[in-house]
Chain A
Amino acid sequence: MSGTALAAGAAAGAVFLAAGYVLGRLTARRGHAAADLDLGTPVERATFHTLHTASLAAPPLRAGLTGETAGRAARTLRSLLGTEALCLTDRGAVLAWDGPGESHHRERVRALVAETLETGRSRSARADCADPACPLRWAVVAPLTGEDGVLGALVAYGSRESAVLVRAATEVARWVSVQLELSELDRSRTRIVEAEIRALRAQISPHFIFNSLAAIASFVRTDPERARELLLEFADFTRYSFRRHGEFAQLADELRSIEQYLALAGARFGDRLKVTLQIAPEVLPVTLPFLCLQPLVENAVKHALQDRERGCRVTIAARDAGAEAVVTVEDDGVGMDPELLRAVLRGEHPAGSGIGLSNVDERLRQVYGQEHGLVIETGLGAGMKVTVRIPKYRSGVHPSAP
């Protein structure tokens, strides 16, 4: 019985401990709030309130102007303006309506905003409502602008004509426009990353192609069988690298492409290039961004063979580490000045040798988060070791259909 009693005691202790912790946290938070009782003058508080409401509307708008985001933003925008009803449109249709009167005002919005969409100027107009009970008497139309001109309009309805409402609606529309411009910026950033992947694919450098073909040509007479094999490797390698579809690939496929790359590089450098591969087979099915290891190996080969007569070794290792796979690419070549490398990773030396590195680093961070960038250990003359930690699962990361 003593064992059971001990277990029960331990369990009870754990529960009390947890309860105490939670209570402590709660009271601490409350105490914190009570400490700054000075909440400012009424004017300041009103400002805070307005800023807070505005900040609530920002996140949906950052995703662009669509029916869904407009619907979520319209509610906060209306409480920001304090009007009877509020409507958001794009150039073609009504996206969202918040407040009463949607049934009989909605079809009239198009006519109301047409002029503003044309001129890009705010205006105030009578709502022309036949229903005497309807509170929507006046409408203020303000344009929403993006980089390419007017994207849509914000319509605020009031019960009477008011200069304040005109002013407020114009300012809110301008603020929304800033958010929309930011969302365009976001989208262009992702487009740039996509373009970089495409560039990386195309970046299989012309030098590499010339050199490979020259190396193959040198075998055609002396060792036709080897030349044929190398040509097949070359065909495989280019096909894989130029494949159109999918942002992700399995580690096994990436390694096969690296194998082909090394076979071609080996044909050129002969015995000077030695390669070791250490693979834990359970990480081979790991999915990772397409072509994110090949630049690392290319870099290692380049470093290993720079300004050297003696042979160099490149080691590629993949091992299992719980929910992650750890891949390292190591060479004992000339190494690199860490300061220079830092600059390369910041993207300040786009013409330098490390464009592949910074591209891979950025893509890994984008897919897996900031803590999954490249870890590089190097020094002048000390070789270089690049470590990548790849989570075995991340939502949205799978060898996708085209």
Chain B
Amino acid sequence: MNPNHTYAVVAVTAVVLATVLIGALGLRISRTTSDFYVASRTVRPGLNAAAISGEYLSAASFLGIAGLVLVQGPAMLWYPVGYTAGYLVLLVLVAAPLRRSGAYTLSDFAEARLESPAARRLASLFVVGIGWLYLLPQLQGAGLTLEILTGAPDWAGGLIVALVVTGTVAAGGMRSITFVQAFQYWLKLTALLVPAVFLLAAWYGDGAPRARFDAPAVLREHTVVRLADTVRIDLDAPLTVTVTGSVDSVRHDHRTVTLAPGTHHVLAGTELAFAPGTRVPERAAGDAGPSPDVARGDAPLASPGWSQPLAGGHDGHQLYATYGLILATFLGTMGLPHVAVRFYTSPHGRAARRTTLVVLGLVGAFYLLPPLYGALGRVYAPELALTGSADAAVLVLPDRVLGGVLGDLLGALLAGGAFAAFLSTASGLTMSVAGVLTQDVLPSRGVRHFRLATLLATAVPLGTGVVASKVPVADAVGLAFAVSASSFCPLLVLGIWWRRLTPPGAMAGLLLGGGSALAAVMATRAGLAPAGWAHTLMAWPAVWSVPLGFLGMVLVSLATPRRIPAGTPALLARLHLPEEFAAPVPEEVRR
């Protein structure tokens, strides 16, 4: 797509190198006793918040949101809202007590609160599961990015990210992850902000065309689209298009065809050339991707397409899916393994709360940008909706709008930012998943096991990514959020705020809520979900699985009142009292 790949390759390499170097050398070093004090001071909320944001803003945020807005319009703005609001819930209910519990991972919290090794092991399984679900789209996004930038096969990008992350983490190279992640946040923000300024200027100079979301997008110039997958398109008006390839099982070789209104099958590999002013055809509802059945025209299912989870025309489905999204993102943030781990860096509960507040600001500022790219993409690159690689919108826009060397340079900056997103989230996730694997899943302890665990932590999602069906990045991340919201949200909220929680109750809730959400999500990803409402229910499980998780925990806890852990009152006091009251700190001497 981009003839000049050199800039992009240089940018990606620079980001990878910077990540590795800062990870290995970014320690605070002091050579005289006089600046010891500075070096051994705990991390300030600002730095820690940048690190949390850097780790949190993944491929879904950097690429996915823009792609979804491009395809489906403003309804998708619930994604950035949900991703941000998750921290509000975290701030109000969880941040400070979680830090005061002294827990590093969520499994540690389960053990500290419930005093039960069994509950700890179950929590560990969910940490690993959520981590893998979240890693999968990161690696797939990396593959997509590299494919668009250099034409490499789609598994190459994921492999590079996996290798870099596994290598640095396993070799003990990530000696200090805070500076890496903070750097990545500012890099990502810059990478989106600078091109956005140029793009907006160009858009303004272009007469500020409006993006229309209520009508099919209109192509502004002659466009050739090459379809990677077989798709069905729905037309409500005749469409004149030049075809090289196969449409409705008829081969054309660079012939201009006028397609009648109705549904048409376009085989993978077909090139469609549209004249300027043509309306971009919409992918048909129920288009389940590269299915040979569909290509042969055998009774296509009338289910809403997976790639268009909120679409489908049924208002009930759409409303339900929106609520599912809101619940999953609002309540799921607190249970993400790499987010929980970062709070450990705060010196005390109050700092953890202040950190979360800053995170809200940083993440909120970042999320203003992706929707902008989505809207611009709707204007300048609407055909991406047809090819199914709408996630690439952010990357192709500079070339499309500005062109030339400036376009290439800005494209390279965006590519670097995208890789920063994959690397930061993937390394954070890998660290936490590998930590849990070493501690709770693999048989014995030791450095070598941590290396093995790191390998396992990235190999599984990498392998799954090769075989699993392609799903928009933001949606795939949404699945991890749904599982997290139905398992760890009840555990954390009830664990912190309800003194009658018992180990059997917690385990029942985890299994009922988290287990059912996980099963539904896996079934959907494997394509086993039946059509219609059942599909919608399973693709957006949070609406029913979160209450199920809470209900399971409360009811089973109430039924097993004798199993309330003995240390509960003392632990809850420690969670909710500021540290000064729990353990007197020696007063600071005037320096």
Given known pairs A250-B347, A322-B435, A397-B102, the reply for A402 and B43 (CB within 8 Å) is no
A393 sits at the interface (CB 8 A) = yes
Report B-chain residues with C-beta under 8 Å of the C-beta of A321. Answer: 172, 175, 450
CB distance from B449 to the nearest CB of A (A): 10
A221 sits at the interface (CB 8 A) = no
* Residues A259 and B37 in contact, CB atoms below 8 Å apart: yes
Q: Taking CB as reference atom, which chain A residue is nearest B440?
A: A323
Partner of A277, one of B39, B346, B347, B467: B39
Secondary structure at the A interface, as helix, strand, loop or mixed, is mixed
Q: Taking CB as reference atom, which chain B residue is nearest A7?
A: B467
B215 sits at the interface (CB 8 A) = no
B147 sits at the interface (CB 8 A) = no
Given known pairs A4-B527, A281-B28, A322-B434, the reply for A259 and B582 (CB within 8 Å) is no
Partner of A393, one of B102, B172, B589: B102
Given known pairs A239-B586, A275-B33, the reply for A10 and B435 (CB within 8 Å) is no
Which range holds the interface residue count of chain B?
35 or more
Given known pairs A8-B526, A236-B589, A279-B40, the reply for A393 and B583 (CB within 8 Å) is no
Q: Taking CB as reference atom, which chain B residue is nearest A232?
A: B589
CA distance A21 to B33 in the complex (A): 58
CB distance from A246 to the nearest CB of B (A): 6
CB distance from B569 to the nearest CB of A (A): 13
Tally of A-B residue pairs with Cβ under 8 A? 153
B42 sits at the interface (CB 8 A) = yes
CA distance A399 to B43 in the complex (A): 18
* Residues A282 and B177 in contact, CB atoms below 8 Å apart: yes
Q: Taking CB as reference atom, which chain A residue is nearest B172?
A: A321
A262 sits at the interface (CB 8 A) = yes
Partner of B438, one of A8, A317, A322: A322
* Residues A282 and B29 in contact, CB atoms below 8 Å apart: no
List which B312-343 residues lie within 8 A (CB) of chain A: none
Interface centre among B177, B347, B583 (most CB of A within 10 A): B583
CA distance A323 to B29 in the complex (A): 22
Q: Taking CB as reference atom, which chain A residue is nearest B574?
A: A398
List which B104-147 residues lie within 8 A (CB) of chain A: 104-105, 108, 111-112, 115
B519 sits at the interface (CB 8 A) = no
Interface readout for B79-113 with A: 1 if CB under 8 Å, 0 if not?
00000000000000000000000111100100110
Report B-chain residues with C-beta under 8 Å of the C-beta of A232. Answer: 589-591
B562 sits at the interface (CB 8 A) = no
CA distance A303 to B450 in the complex (A): 33
* Residues A281 and B176 in contact, CB atoms below 8 Å apart: yes
Report A-chain residues with C-beta under 8 Å of the C-beta of B111. Answer: 395
Partner of A281, one of B30, B43, B112, B434: B43
* Residues B33 and A282 in contact, CB atoms below 8 Å apart: no
B439 sits at the interface (CB 8 A) = yes
Q: What are 28 A-B pairs at a CB distance below 8 A? A: A1-B527, A3-B468, A3-B469, A8-B526, A10-B467, A232-B590, A232-B591, A239-B586, A243-B586, A256-B37, A262-B33, A275-B36, A277-B28, A278-B27, A279-B29, A279-B39, A280-B27, A281-B28, A281-B176, A282-B43, A284-B41, A285-B42, A285-B344, A285-B345, A319-B175, A320-B177, A322-B435, A399-B579
Given contacts A252-B41, A276-B29, 4 further A-B contacts (CB under 8 A): A1-B293, A252-B347, A259-B40, A277-B28
